[in-house]
A and B are shown apart, each in its own frame.
Chain A
Amino acid sequence: MAMKEILDELDSLSRARARELGKAKQEGTPIIEYTGYFIPEELIRAAGAETYLMCRGGEPEPPDAVLDYMLRFMNPLARSMAGFLELGLDPITPMSSMVVAQQTDNHVGRISELLEFKGINICKVGVPPDWTKDIAFEYYVESLKKMMQRVEEITGKKVDEALAKTYFEKSNKICELFRKLNELRMKDNPPIGFNEIIHLQHYSFNVDADIMIEKLTQLYEELIDAPGEFDADAPRILVAGRAFAMGDYIVPGLVEQSGGVIVAELLDEGVRPIEKDVALEGDLLVNFAKNRYLDKTPINIQQPAWDIRYDKIKELIKDYKVDGVLWYQLAFDEIYDMEYTCLSNWMKDSDTLLMKLESSYEYSREAMGPLTTRIESFVESLKEGK
């Protein structure tokens, strides 16, 4: 089966998720929506709920829909969390028994309060940014435990540990397959681009894990000896930033249409953190917490983070033979803006070009012209550099 067919099938299954959840709800299974990747959806499911990742974006109206309640200088992804609901375009949140929101920064913090203000049952999971301190890790673990208690109260069931282990095994397998696909992206001419990868990542949150594993395996086998998908000398690009939300696919598409290939990414939300697997022996909640909080590259808001993240970027540049870095920043995302300043300072003498692209999810025809021109110019500069 060709890559396009696999993607089409997964796309169809992913789109069916909302209706599946509606049906599950009707049959008495609670729906728990969650944000970010500090939330163990495997444990929530093992307690008898269905889960759904809240990470939609890429449209201009939802961020604007919350402005009667909210400061306009909040990032558009956070505003979209409540904006789709405000517009009546959110099929999941109204039927969710609870939304579990990781509290990593003020954007999501205040938007969580807007959802509370609107009557949504929110469970906040505290993720202290000062991650190198023991008490901060303990705080996060305790916060997860309290969240799980609330989940169990909703479902009326305790976590089935054996089931949880199976779910984590499957998640680990999915991450392993993404790592394998990433290895293929190291090739001189990769057989798969970021546009496909980001869609696959998003599908992986909505599609049954067994099917996802089967399809990713099939795709990997299909691609392992497949020819490259891009021009032989296509500039190789790393994208970094907070997130490409579900629905925010314009920029990756434009990069690839302009003749570039995105070979690697460093993103903080909307993708599975695939660096390391969650350990399966012992306390799974603690194992998950370690995996997300201690054992991976810190996200932008954690502190210290930026020098570690720069080391990671350098590693990715080397491993994936990157020619240029595209810093994809959500508008008014102030902490990412600061990290970019440091990154540009560090990279000023580097051979690798760096460009910042800010998005307010404004992809009107008026906005698309300048956006396309910027991306084309960036790709052209990289080509000249090669």
Chain B
Amino acid sequence: MADKEINRKLLEIAGFEGDELEAFLPGWMESVEIIGMTDEDIRYSVEEYIPKNWDIQFRGVRKMIGAYLREMVEITNTKKYKAEGKKIIYGILPAVCQPYSALKNAAGEDAYVSFPDLMLVTILNGFFDKADPYLRYAEELGFTYGCRHCPLNKMRVGSFAKGVLATPDVIWSWGFNCDEGPKTDEMIQCMLSESWKYVISRIPHDTAFGTPDDEYERVEYMSKVLKEGLDEIAEVTGIRPSDEDMKKAIKDAGRYSFKLGQLISLVCQSDPVALGGNSLTQFGQGVAVPFNCGIQYLEEALDITIKEVKTEIKNGTGVLPKGAPKVGSYFVPFCIPWIDRIFRENGVATTFSQTLSPSKSQLSPGKYGDDPYMSMAETWLKMPFGQNMGYEVEAMIEKVKANKPDGMLMGFFDFDRWLGAHQKMAADMVEKATGVPHYYIESDFWDDRDYSEEALRTRIESICQLLQMKKDME
């Protein structure tokens, strides 16, 4: 029998209170059991892992953790939902959430819609340091350790093979960045279950270096690809989002994105730095990932955090003393939250992430407001990390200039032949354009088995020393 008290404490940390907590607790404990975590795992999280690595002095951050824990329960309910006749629709990262949110808007409670592998790695490694058993299991099944595969895909294989995930009615895999994501579904279908139905949407990386990816012709093609994808899903599930469902999804995402931009700007302009990069980036997932419970819990957490950060700024307080150097990142590795902590232990604050910070172009109104497919396609094609390197670098330079970090941290995508491959070149270009030094760390965003705390500490300490010295000289 699992220990209720320790799980209750966890939920308190995660911003649950009173009746809501008591109502959520039984489902949460069932979920923990399905996932295979023990009381000791929860205790470690409550007493050590979360307090050491997350800014839980902020109610908004606690609520954000709570929003993710709700999603874990949803994932472990997928089999139950399927048995009840609900439709199960999965997706994968990277994507934009709008088309998936539109499906959820159309289906309501009759469908589960989210990215379970992403959620599981985020939750299990981000808050419990417990994704390993699933990753190892996928490796035992043939997702070989040595070939540097993506941990998200390993999680999809591992969690399905371990019986945590229901077979979806359909998984809609966007391969706009990634080759391995869609091919993982082919692998699951070939190896584990012929009934693993997938729909893939792809577009080649074929724009010329430095030319816009979001020009009309490409937007139009992608809009057709998205429409075909949604048509296929409608055929399989019977769920077809109306224009209103899509417009709502676009509006919700736009509102969330605006608030996120506001928080990032507040944090990056603050001195002392008001909030750490882990939390800041974790909020960023709201623009890319559909939450089956809806965006409202994460948005509530974001609203609270914005207020709390404003208060911190007003009071002149923060997570580090005034004047501490700040680093921006390509993507703050929040699934390995101790990296943020080591930076802070060395007097440097991590702040914004290039990838999930909206650029000016992303925040400006779209050109195709009346056409939801064009609009969604445009939203994706404005995401810098899907663009050709020359065009992406323009947005990176813009963000570095706007957020004024003392240094930039690149790397952490050693498994990704798209997002990880170009970072050294991009670093060189942005550094030349902005004068802000860039540091590259080869590591894995989702999985720290290959890159232990001790292995990375020396590198991080060196970076921090360099930044402190640069700051002193200034």
A contact set with B: CB distance below 8 Å: 68-74, 103-107, 109-110, 113-114, 116-117, 122, 124-130, 133, 135-136, 139, 143, 301, 303-307, 332-335, 337-338, 340-342, 344-346
Nearest-CB residue, chain B, relative to A105: B179
Contact B421 A110 (CB under 8 A): yes
Contact A335 B180 (CB under 8 A): yes
Contact B148 A73 (CB under 8 A): yes
Contact A306 B224 (CB under 8 A): no
Contact B421 A70 (CB under 8 A): yes
Contact B389 A117 (CB under 8 A): yes
The answer, among A69, A106, A345, for a CB contact under 8 Å with B142, is A345
Contact B425 A117 (CB under 8 A): yes
Q: Which residues of A contact B201 (CB under 8 A)?
A: 130
Bound form: Cα–Cα A105–B175 in Å = 10
Q: A334-B147, A334-B417, A341-B187 are in contact. List 11 more A-B contacts (CB 8 A).
A: A71-B422, A73-B415, A103-B204, A114-B422, A116-B208, A117-B425, A128-B203, A130-B200, A139-B204, A333-B147, A341-B191
The answer, among A125, A126, A301, A345, for a CB contact under 8 Å with B190, is A345
Bound form: Cα–Cα A333–B179 in Å = 11
Nearest-CB residue, chain A, relative to B414: A73
Nearest-CB residue, chain A, relative to B185: A303
Bound form: Cα–Cα A304–B221 in Å = 21
The answer, among A113, A305, A337, for a CB contact under 8 Å with B149, is A337
A117-B389, A129-B179, A135-B221 known; A69+B202 contact, CB < 8 A: no
Contact A338 B143 (CB under 8 A): yes
Bound form: Cα–Cα A352–B205 in Å = 38
Bound form: Cα–Cα A101–B208 in Å = 11
Bound form: Cα–Cα A332–B184 in Å = 16
Q: Provide the B210-226 mask, 1 if CB < 8 A to any CB of A, else 0.
A: 00000000000100110
| 21 cross-chain CB contacts under 8 A | A74-B421, A103-B204, A106-B179, A106-B417, A110-B421, A113-B388, A116-B389, A122-B208, A127-B204, A135-B225, A307-B190, A337-B147, A338-B142, A340-B142, A341-B141, A341-B142, A341-B144, A341-B187, A342-B186, A342-B191, A345-B190
Q: Which residues of B contact A125 (CB under 8 A)?
A: 206
Bound form: Cα–Cα A114–B424 in Å = 10
Closest Cβ of chain A to B458, distance in Å, is 20
The answer, among A71, A107, A124, A338, for a CB contact under 8 Å with B206, is A124
Q: Which residues of A contact B418 (CB under 8 A)?
A: 106, 109-110
Bound form: Cα–Cα A304–B173 in Å = 13
Q: Which residues of A contact B388 (CB under 8 A)?
A: 113
Closest Cβ of chain A to B217, distance in Å, is 9
Contact B175 A129 (CB under 8 A): yes
Contact A69 B425 (CB under 8 A): yes
Closest Cβ of chain B to A70, distance in Å, is 6
B451 on interface, CB distance cutoff 8 Å: no
B43 on interface, CB distance cutoff 8 Å: no
Contact B424 A69 (CB under 8 A): yes
Bound form: Cα–Cα A106–B418 in Å = 6
Closest Cβ of chain A to B417, distance in Å, is 4
B contact set with A: CB distance below 8 Å: 141-144, 147-149, 175, 178-180, 182-184, 186-187, 190-191, 200-209, 221, 224-225, 228, 388-390, 413-415, 417-418, 420-425, 428, 442
A126-B203, A135-B228 known; A306+B186 contact, CB < 8 A: yes
The answer, among B179, B191, B202, B414, for a CB contact under 8 Å with A71, is B414
Nearest-CB residue, chain B, relative to A127: B204
Bound form: Cα–Cα A333–B149 in Å = 10
Closest Cβ of chain B to A142, distance in Å, is 9
Contact B179 A126 (CB under 8 A): no
Bound form: Cα–Cα A344–B141 in Å = 11
The answer, among B143, B184, B202, B442, for a CB contact under 8 Å with A136, is B202
Most chain B beta carbons < 10 A, residue from A104, A332, A333: A332
Q: Which residues of B contact A332 (CB under 8 A)?
A: 147-148
Contact A122 B209 (CB under 8 A): yes
Q: Which residues of B contact A342 (CB under 8 A)?
A: 142, 186-187, 190-191
Contact A139 B221 (CB under 8 A): yes
Q: Which residues of A contact B178 (CB under 8 A)?
A: 106
Most chain B beta carbons < 10 A, residue from A104, A106, A133, A345: A106
Q: Which residues of B contact A130 (CB under 8 A)?
A: 175, 200-202
Nearest-CB residue, chain A, relative to B422: A110
The answer, among A70, A116, A306, for a CB contact under 8 Å with B209, is A116
Closest Cβ of chain A to B187, distance in Å, is 5
Closest Cβ of chain B to A374, distance in Å, is 16
Bound form: Cα–Cα A41–B304 in Å = 60
Bound form: Cα–Cα A62–B413 in Å = 23
Q: Which residues of B contact A122 (CB under 8 A)?
A: 208-209
Contact A113 B425 (CB under 8 A): yes
Q: Which residues of A contact B422 (CB under 8 A)?
A: 70-71, 110, 113-114
Contact A70 B206 (CB under 8 A): no
Q: Which residues of B contact A345 (CB under 8 A)?
A: 142, 190-191
Bound form: Cα–Cα A215–B423 in Å = 48
Most chain A beta carbons < 10 A, residue from B141, B205, B225: B205
Q: Which residues of B contact A301 (CB under 8 A)?
A: 179, 183
Nearest-CB residue, chain A, relative to B153: A338
Q: Which residues of A contact B414 (CB under 8 A)?
A: 71, 73
Bound form: Cα–Cα A341–B187 in Å = 8
Bound form: Cα–Cα A338–B141 in Å = 10
Closest Cβ of chain B to A341, distance in Å, is 3
A129-B179, A335-B183 known; A341+B143 contact, CB < 8 A: yes
Bound form: Cα–Cα A143–B221 in Å = 12
Most chain B beta carbons < 10 A, residue from A105, A126, A143, A334: A334
Q: Which residues of B contact A335 (CB under 8 A)?
A: 179-180, 183
Contact A107 B417 (CB under 8 A): yes
Q: Which residues of A contact B425 (CB under 8 A)?
A: 69-70, 113-114, 117
Bound form: Cα–Cα A106–B225 in Å = 20
Closest Cβ of chain B to A134, distance in Å, is 9
A113-B209, A332-B147, A344-B142 known; A338+B184 contact, CB < 8 A: yes
Q: Which residues of B contact A71 (CB under 8 A)?
A: 413-414, 417, 420-424
Q: Which residues of A contact B180 (CB under 8 A)?
A: 334-335, 338
Closest Cβ of chain B to A312, distance in Å, is 15
4 smallest CB-CB distances across A and B, nearest first, come from A341-B142, A126-B204, A126-B206, A116-B209
A70-B421, A70-B424, A334-B148 known; A303+B200 contact, CB < 8 A: yes
Contact A338 B424 (CB under 8 A): no
Nearest-CB residue, chain A, relative to B204: A126
Closest Cβ of chain B to A137, distance in Å, is 13
Q: Which residues of B contact A338 (CB under 8 A)?
A: 142-143, 149, 180, 183-184, 186-187
Q: Which residues of B contact A139 (CB under 8 A)?
A: 203-204, 221
Q: Which residues of A contact B141 (CB under 8 A)?
A: 341
Q: Which residues of B contact A113 (CB under 8 A)?
A: 209, 388-390, 422, 425
